[in-house]
Amino acid sequence: MNQITSKLTMLILGLLVLVSCHGLEELNENPNQIGSDNVDPNLLVPTVINGVGKTVVSLGFGDLAGVMQHTQKDGWSSGHNAYDWSNDSHSWNGYYSLLINDKTLIEKAEIDNLDFHRGVGLIMKSYLFGLMTDLWGDIPYSNALRGAEGPEFFDATFDAQKNVYEGIHADLETANSLLSKSVDSYFSINETQDILYGGDVAKWRKFANSLSLRYYMRLSVKEPGLAEQGIKKILSNPSQYPLILNAADDANMAYVGNTSGDSWPTNTKFDSDPQGSYFRVKMAATLVETMQGLDDPRLGVWANKIDQPLVLDTSDYINEDTGERHVSQATVDAYINTVGFPVDYDKEYVGLPTAMTFGAAYNLSENVNQGTLNLHVSQLNDIYKEASGDLLQARLISAAEVNFIIAEAATKGWASGSAEQYYNEGIKQSLNAWGVGDSYGDYISGTAAYNSFEDIITQKWIASWSSAAEAWFDYRRTGLPNLETGAASKRPALPLRFYYHINEIDNNSNSGEAIDKLEPTQFKGDDVSNNSAWSKVWLLQGTNKPY
């Protein structure tokens, strides 16, 4: 496995037992609860969900938001804006640590015949392994998490990516079956510990099938026959495979906001530094301009209007009445000669260009320190200063995404109904999720009206705000949206995967075979092996996507 020795594994499990059992001596009196000599699955459920939720935000509001040009940073930005990654940038240790807890959850649920907990565990297992194979390619899977069984499992083999996807679909099928019974057939559910759905079995079942639909569509270019069969199976039998089709069923995890560890990552409650996360992260010009072109009502939910609009004039001064900053052509020319970007005179929203060299100086900012307030560029909406809030959610999968998947399936003839029907519904559910559902009628009848397949992926890209990993995975298999790199980008193309971490390469003898199976592209650059962010995993090989 990923360098987790049997000794460390036993220590972790021992601590879990110790923590889980303390103060629960009376549980033996309740036949519907786990005995005090075992781990209580209800205590593992929130640990796993919380870990998965924070991972989704770390990716989708972090580096992958930079790759997909949802956001850019104007300070300490190279990994975010320019994909300046290497084999010590992204480790999967945290993923496997969560999977150890999840494995314990599944095992204890099996011992005590707790179908709800086992179903939840299988869904979380599928989600984590799905993320990992999407991010890295081949990964330890079938023999992972077995370090406690002996040294022969310390260097777990890397499973082929196709086999990982097959295992995921099998586990999700099992989860759907486990969660398909009448509500009164389940016991030992602690609603307060289920921080995703509050013990709602039906919603978990929808989550399982929606996740399966996601992964079938992931295979649609590489394995179209398998993808078509799986998608048709799900969509043709909604009673057997219910889905998340309404935003009320979205798999969202709320942030508590009591400590820095359980708060939204850009909050200023625990990070009040004027060069802190909130002030470094800006909406990317790519997303801002796309949404402005669509007159998208979500833009005002995600970003503030600029503090001080710019006006081209004959001299330089501040208009005290309007709050605008007037600048002369000489000032503008000097700025352009230094920074290399034109001035954006938009009076409402201005995003940060992709991978620019002098981000802090963009748009005539007079405060050129890294990561500080830029009066002429839109900051994130004030809600992102908060530690928690109704819209500050880890968004694991949504009704918007599911409807867009069905819309794409309809373009392939794999779903009944029109692509436009599901495209419209995807937009509607995204607007509902962000509290601007009242704008749907005007939006869908205007510039957002459906015209082509590209519209589906563009709207899905927009709707994946704060969970941009999914947009990256879509980009890799479709080449959409057609994003261009910036001046400071490490390579003249978007990356395709994470590097296998140096620790894994050095400590697992099986890593070399997995690296050799990667297919380098013309953008591999000076990477010394196929272990490059610009190498293709199995899923992309032979597809001519995205390049």
- Helices then strands, each counted (H, E), the chain: 20, 11
Report yes or no: 41 and 188 within 8 Å, Cβ to Cβ: yes
Half-sphere exposure of 228 (CA within 13 A, CB side): 10
476-504 in b/e form (b: 16+ CB < 10 A) is bbbbbbebebbebbbbebbbbbbbbbebb
pLDDT at 18: 36
Q: What is the DSSP letter of 90?
A: -
The better pLDDT of the pair 154, 117 is held by 117
- Average pLDDT, integer, range 343-363: 96
Residue 180, amino acid: S
- Average pLDDT, integer, range 256-283: 96
- Average pLDDT, integer, range 51-57: 98
pLDDT at 245: 98
* pLDDT at 534 exceeding the cut of 80: yes
C-alpha pair distances (Å), 464 with each of 56, 60, 379, 404: 11, 8, 19, 11
Report yes or no: 302 and 291 within 8 Å, Cβ to Cβ: no
Q: In the chain, what are the domains?
A: 1-280+397-547 (1.25.40.390), 281-385 (no CATH)
* pLDDT at 5 exceeding the cut of 60: no
Report yes or no: 12 and 147 within 8 Å, Cβ to Cβ: no
The band of 31, judged by pLDDT with boundaries at 50, 70 and 90, is very low
* pLDDT at 12 exceeding the cut of 90: no
pLDDT at 19: 39
| H or E element, residue 395 | strand 393-397
pLDDT at 157: 95
The full DSSP string for 308-361 is S-EEEESS-EE-TTT-PEEEEHHHHHHHHHHH-S-----SS--PBPTT-TTGGG
- Average pLDDT, integer, range 84-108: 97
**Can you tell me which residue has the tokens 């699955």?**
41
pLDDT at 1: 42
- Average pLDDT, integer, range 139-158: 90
Residue 228 CB neighbour total at 10 angstroms: 17
Residue 230, amino acid: G
The better pLDDT of the pair 311, 29 is held by 311
The token pair at 515 is 């690296």
The token pair at 457 is 């992926």
The band of 311, judged by pLDDT with boundaries at 50, 70 and 90, is very high
pLDDT at 242: 98
- Average pLDDT, integer, range 179-207: 97
pTM of full prediction above 0.85: yes
The band of 24, judged by pLDDT with boundaries at 50, 70 and 90, is very low
What stretches of 340-468 show up as alpha helix (H) in DSSP?
399-411, 419-433, 440-445, 453-463
* pLDDT at 90 exceeding the cut of 60: yes
pLDDT at 54: 98
Distance CA 100, CA 164 (A): 17
What phi, psi does 204 have (nearest 5°)? -60, -40
pLDDT digits (tens, 9 = 90+) for 450-490: 999 999 999 999 999 999 999 999 999 999 999 999 999 99
- Alpha-carbon torsion, ordered 528, 529, 533, 534, to 10 deg: 90
Distance CA 544, CA 297 (A): 35
* pLDDT at 185 exceeding the cut of 50: yes
Question: In the beta sheet, which residues pair with residue 283?
Answer: 71
pLDDT at 376: 97
Distance CA 116, CA 215 (A): 22
| 364: helix, strand or coil | helix
Distance CA 320, CA 324 (A): 7
Nearest to 359 by CA among 89, 68, 66, 85: 66
The band of 181, judged by pLDDT with boundaries at 50, 70 and 90, is very high
CA dihedral sign, ordered 522, 528, 530, 532: negative
* pLDDT at 111 exceeding the cut of 70: yes
pLDDT at 147: 84
- Pick the range with the lowest mean pLDDT from 223-227, 284-288, 370-374, 492-496: 370-374
Nearest to 282 by CA among 72, 439, 448, 471: 72
pLDDT at 97: 97
The token pair at 400 is 């918007």
- Average pLDDT, integer, range 361-365: 96
Q: What percent of the chain has pLDDT over 90?
A: 89
Report yes or no: 318 and 330 within 8 Å, Cβ to Cβ: no
Report yes or no: 377 and 385 within 8 Å, Cβ to Cβ: no
pLDDT at 327: 98
Question: In the beta sheet, which residues pair with residue 281?
Answer: 73
**Would you give the distance in Å from CA 42 to the centre of its chain?**
25
* pLDDT at 149 exceeding the cut of 90: no
Question: In the beta sheet, which residues pair with residue 94?
Answer: none
